[in-house]
A and B are shown apart, each in its own frame.
Chain A
Amino acid sequence: MRTITQLTTLLLSAALLITLSACDDDSTPIGPEETVELEVQTVEDLPADPTVTVGENGRPQGLNQYTFFSLRDNEIVLESGTEARADSNSTAWDIALQGTTIRINGGTSGPGNGAAYVAEAAFGDVVEVDTERLQPDTEEALAIPTGSGNGWYSYNSNGQNYVRPVPGRTIVVRTADGEGYAKIRVQSYYQGAPELPADREAHPSRYYTFDYVVQTDGSTSFE
């Protein structure tokens, strides 16, 4: 029963293209003298290998494939559900998401010149890229660390097995072409971005909602 519901959800979400709303920047930025040209874009319910089957012991399973996303174009390059994986070996994508893991297109994860770090600062306060901290993905560690409390999320910190973004963590990414920079704030890991996903069936996991700003003119400033 549960499987059917989840399959239906998956089919529905696959049928719908992801809502990619480029909203006007109505949130007043921090700082009085601010002049804003860059706009905050919001991506809602980006599927990152969502559950398609429930295995033994109730373990949710996806297809073990990444969703490749272009921050520069604000679009999915390749969805985790797509069988052909050809575009993954390109610089068309900037970040790849599967479950809680986010890879960048650089180092061991992709052919691009991408790099990243996680800033311990509020999204609005990250105004300048600290290029010293930018790292490519390596065998030893991903630029965006995995594991609860290491990178962008915490898991089960209240005993209810939720994955929740840690407030004040901003992912800073160099795009695959090596020329642009983006900063990302994850809002939710659950479909519909509920405050707390108490109803797991209505709000399945592995759906990202995030805000980001991308700077494509080569400047390391987000202002």
Chain B
Amino acid sequence: MRDTRWTLVISGLAMAALCASGAHAQSVSDVSPDTSRADTTAWGTPVELERVVVTATRSQKRLGQVPVPTSVIDAGEIEARGVRRLSDLLAEQPGIQLNYDHGAGVQVQGFDADYTLILIDGEPVIGRTAGTLSLDRITVADVQQVEVVRGPSSSLYGSEALAGVVNVITQDPEDGLQGEVRAQYGTHNTSDASVRVAGAEGAWRGKAFVSRYASDGYTLTSSATPTTPSFTNYVARSTLGYALSTDTDLEVRGRLAREDQSRITQMQGNDTQRFDSTGEQTDWSLAPTLTHTLRPGTTLELSAVASGYRTEIRLVGQNDGLRLNNSRFNQRYRKGEAQLQTAWGDTHLATVGAGYIRESVDADRVTGHRTGGFVFVQDEWTPADWLDLVPSARLDAHSDYATRISPKLAALVRPLNGLRVRASVGSGYKAPAFRQLYLNFTNAQAGYSVFGAEEVRGGLDSLDANNEIAALLQDPSTLGGAMDAERSVSYNVGVRVDLPAALTLDANLYHNEVRDLIDTQPVARKTNGQQVFTYFNRGRVFTQGLEAELSWQPHPALDAAVSYTYLKAKDRAVLDQLEAGRIFRRTDAGRDVAVPVSDYAGLRGRSRHRATVRFMARAESAGFTASVRGRYRSRYGFSDVNGNGIVDTDAEYAPSHAILDLTLTQTLADTVDLQVGANNLTDYTDAQYTPEFSGRTWFVGLRAAL
């Protein structure tokens, strides 16, 4: 059946290629009807608003016309900062907090990393560990721009786009031949080198990019186990494009990444034994896309993606050379999709799409696959000069969880020159993770069992057959029904206003109400006294806050901004319990007292306040650029110390901290840049709370272009 569907997708692509007849030439960028108005306020920053973005509406749109909170970081800014990894780039962004849990992940609008969709050139990146897709894996060395959309985008992208979407857009080949070499070396023997060759000639265009990133890692404690292990990471990306005719274009993008890690680890047992731990990670993707202009203003895009993510970890004893443990994880993702975009009337741009997804995972404890189909529709409508309305909706039908419909309505109002008001209401969702559906795990030490929703009935049956079930806590026939996706309803209201003296204020208020969060609950008691757990939809949380940025660009060569975010993220069930006076803490005097609602810190890892500053100045004649970035986060809930399950006392917080980064770039000739930089200038470290900061690091870099 799987083969049949693939044959369909491939023949669809082939047929579309055949139908490509000689209609009018129309480049993709001309498709959007020009409904924007010249942005020529006295002090505004038209350059930024004119920048074309694609993530928020899946169509090319000027930033000034996008009705949802969107920010863009372009190649020039990336180069001026000297950052090489997506994690380092986003760490400095307003409205984004990096959290480190099984890798560097983004926290957007107070959501954990699982709730933000990560795209490269519009296609999803797979391979999450405990929900985090480590952004260290993604290089930004050949990137054109990185777009960040905050707020739910499930109405266009489906699962995972609940908190937001990060889209890494790589540089397209340009006419002629381009070549670029970059190299960077710094503290901890960290090196990053890349080569990019690209070009276009006649109907052909192509790009090849290779990067190598390696580090010795570092150790903050006296332990033999390093805080961060040594690793070597390779990324290759390539594009091959061919214009079949003036209105038909075929492009194939490929991506391959591999990372090797090694470290020493200790295990406590009868004796402390040391192991050599080695890990391998491979991540690949192949994506052909066929774009065909049916008539001016109407484009059909057929695309397919095949991607895979595989990890393997081996533990080998240092004394006896015996292999103790092997763990592996193998994930596959396939998607075929068709998208039609058409301008109708003078004021509408409609996008409709449909597709099919097949995902599978094969790992030690989790094995399964699921399939799904989706349809989405969007209308970008400009009913009046001063108003844009963008309704959209997507339907996702899945084999293993309930069907989701995700609608969204966004509006942009421009009542005056230099004033834009955005408002949107939408629904986001996140599909149950593989483990929540397919886990089949019995803890050998403690003896409890956990089953995914699809496995629980079979798991209980087999335990029962072995006489391991003492009692059922729930009727098994009520278990294992279609699980719901975690879902949200979100509101965003924002304003962008041009102020005197080249100042611009962009502010956004948001509220996300999330239901059906997936959590474990016991369903049976085993004869060994332990329990059997499975997953249920039951949690309810909300996040709300303010994101504000004040930027100042008096001159194209001078750019400065300060940002502030305020965040509240709380569990509704905990709030109910607190209000009922059912959560206590023990005082020093040994008395138990009910915790006041106001002492509840909310979800862990969320700072109430966060601020960033950035300053970049370029002395054009001297060829010199300086970039300084700073970020601060207030204290955040870290762990429960007093046993009541929530963060409510000072000892349960991680301390606030601030990080300052500096980069200086000198252009020697037109095509050669030298760079020096220092990250974490104040040498902030805290092994307990923030092992991700190794202290002050230095680097030198070189960039040479053909």
CB-defined contacts of B585 to chain A, threshold 8 Å:
167-168
Q: Is B500 an interface residue, CB under 8 A from the partner?
A: no
State the total of A-B contacts with C-beta under 8 angstroms: 87
Chain B nearest Cβ from A73, distance in angstroms:
25
Q: Is B170 an interface residue, CB under 8 A from the partner?
A: no
Chain A nearest Cβ from B25, distance in angstroms:
60
Per-residue 0/1 for A206-219: is the Cβ within 8 Å of any B Cβ (1 yes, 0 no)? 00000000000000
CB-defined contacts of A167 to chain B, threshold 8 Å:
584-586, 592, 642-644
Q: When the two chains form their complex, are residues A157 and B445 in contact, meaning their CB atoms are under 8 A apart?
A: no
Q: When the two chains form their complex, are residues A154 and B525 in contact, meaning their CB atoms are under 8 A apart?
A: no
CB-defined contacts of B14 to chain A, threshold 8 Å:
none
Q: When the two chains form their complex, are residues A165 and B269 in contact, meaning their CB atoms are under 8 A apart?
A: no
CB-defined contacts of B641 to chain A, threshold 8 Å:
158, 196
Known: A57-B444, A101-B529, A140-B471. A157 touches B586 (CB 8 A): no
Per-residue 0/1 for A176-197: is the Cβ within 8 Å of any B Cβ (1 yes, 0 no)? 0000000001000000000010
Q: Is A120 an interface residue, CB under 8 A from the partner?
A: yes
Q: When the two chains form their complex, are residues A54 and B270 in contact, meaning their CB atoms are under 8 A apart?
A: yes
Q: Is B583 an interface residue, CB under 8 A from the partner?
A: yes
Q: Is B645 an interface residue, CB under 8 A from the partner?
A: yes
Q: Which residue of A lies closest to B584 (CB)?
A: A168
Q: Which residue of A lies closest to B641 (CB)?
A: A158
Which residues in window 89-116 of A have CB below 8 A to B? 99, 101
Contact residues on B (Cβ < 8 Å of other chain), bracket? 20 to 34
- Per DSSP, are chain A's interface residues mostly helix, strand or loop, or mixed? loop
CA distance A93 to B30 in the complex (A): 85
CB-defined contacts of A3 to chain B, threshold 8 Å:
270
Q: Which residue of A lies closest to B640 (CB)?
A: A157
CB-defined contacts of B645 to chain A, threshold 8 Å:
149, 154, 157, 166
B267, B525, B642: the one contacting A140 at CB < 8 Å is B525
Q: When the two chains form their complex, are residues A59 and B644 in contact, meaning their CB atoms are under 8 A apart?
A: no
CA distance A54 to B590 in the complex (A): 34
Q: Is A35 an interface residue, CB under 8 A from the partner?
A: no
Q: Is A146 an interface residue, CB under 8 A from the partner?
A: yes
CA distance A185 to B643 in the complex (A): 14
CB-defined contacts of A139 to chain B, threshold 8 Å:
470-471
CA distance A146 to B585 in the complex (A): 21
CA distance A159 to B269 in the complex (A): 19
Q: Is B591 an interface residue, CB under 8 A from the partner?
A: yes
Interface set of B (CB-CB < 8 Å, partner A): 267-271, 444-446, 470-473, 522, 525, 529, 531, 582-586, 589-594, 639-645
Interface set of A (CB-CB < 8 Å, partner B): 1-3, 27, 30, 54, 57-59, 99, 101, 120, 122-124, 138-141, 146-147, 149-150, 153-154, 157-160, 164-169, 185, 196
- Contacts A/B (CB < 8 Å), 20 sampled: A54-B269, A54-B270, A57-B444, A58-B269, A101-B529, A122-B584, A122-B593, A124-B592, A139-B471, A140-B525, A146-B529, A147-B522, A153-B643, A160-B639, A166-B584, A166-B643, A166-B644, A167-B584, A168-B585, A185-B592
